[in-house]
Amino acid sequence: MPSRESYVVRRGKKQSRRRAEKQAGQNGSLFSAALALNVSAGSIPSLPDPTSDPRMHHAPSKPTSPASTFWKPIRSFALSQLTSLVRRATLRESDLAPKYEKVHNFKVHTFRGPHWCEYCANFMWGLIAQGVKCADCGLNVHKQCSKVVPNDCQPDLRHVKKVYSCDLTTLVKAHNTKRPMVVDMCIQEIEARGLQSEGLYRISGFSELIEDVKLAFDRDGEKVDISSNAYEDLNIITGALKLYFRELPIPLITYDAYPHFVETGKITDTEKRLESLHEALKLLPPAHCETLRYLMGHLKRVTEYEKDNLMTSENLGIVFGPTLMRAPGLDAMTALNDIRYQRLVVETLITNEDVLF
């Protein structure tokens, strides 16, 4: 006749199993039940190894308890799910946009009511123009503090209301992307329709429809429709892409880097020009360099169909040279003389895209 102690043990095991099954039914899966019971790899007791314990050589083998049999598949399932979650999280983390550094766009501002500096936490005195406010992220600081605030601007979509004529780094940080959406969407649409169109990027589309695409991007952002159903003429999409680069407040090849690129175009030796161009690319902000890399890769693919579209790297250099490179404060004659160097720079970037980037 079984003893009272064994009866109590069996009854406790049955109650534990029933509670676990009930919890699993409420959560909808055995994995959720395991989490609810705080079951993890370290909390589930493992079966004893007969070879590791010397006492087990002389003791008779005990039958596996029902509780151990019940938890074993749940433990395996839980570990497999956790491994899958870690793998997916790792993949998502690798796809995140890089951390581009951006300076604040401070402008003198008059605050209504009492305000404190968000950098030094001191009060902003005065009735008008008490401090400055970042037009991209909304940071409020003293004028003196704005000189020492780190370059950690995180643009807010509430402040960034346009796509065109918006600073490139500001746009990609506001939308948390590697490149501007205009560049990605236009290039993807152009390549989807085919690169055999004659005079691609050389022939302009209707300016009214190009302006319509611009307004659509400013209004709808990533939800804009630029497919062939909305714009049948491919030259409208290429025109919208070129217009985006022309309207950048800071060109893709920035004002600071412009002299270095022009000097690179003056070098006649091919190897030395590539070395100089490689050093000049390091002067570009990361977002500008990534966008330039993506664009040059696309233009390199365009030249692969030059027998059909009649667009060589030289022709594309003529089209994109003045679009990507602009220098303020130059007289008309100097700017005219720089056009040939702009063409050589863009042509070299396209031809040697796989080496320079």
pLDDT digit string, tens, across residues 303-341: 999 999 999 999 999 999 999 998 877 777 877 889 999
Q: Is 334 exposed, middle or buried (0-12, 13-18, 19+ CB in 10 A)?
A: exposed
Sort strands 140-141 and 131-134 into parallel, antiparallel or unpaired: antiparallel
Torsion of CA 9, 13, 16, 22, to 10 degrees: -140
Whole-structure pTM value = 0.66
Task: Look up residue 346 and give its amino acid.
Answer: V
Mean pLDDT of the chain: 79
Give the Å distances, CA to CA, from 257 to 288, 326, 337: 11, 10, 18
Q: What is the distance, to the nearest Å, from the Cα of residue 264 to the centroid of all Cα atoms in its chain?
A: 30
Instruction: State mean pLDDT over 2-7.
Output: 43
Q: Is the distance from CB of 30 to CB of 24 less than 8 angstroms?
A: yes
| Helix spans in 176-312 (H) | 181-193, 207-220, 234-246, 258-265, 270-281, 286-303, 306-309
As a whole number of angstroms, the distance between CA 288 and CA 240 comes to: 18
pLDDT band at 3 (very low <50, low <70, confident <90, very high): very low
Summarised one tens digit per residue, pLDDT across range 45-77 is 444 444 444 444 444 444 555 555 656 666 665
pLDDT of 344 above 60: yes
Task: Look up residue 244 and give its amino acid.
Answer: Y
Lowest mean pLDDT among 63-67, 88-92, 116-120, 319-323: 88-92
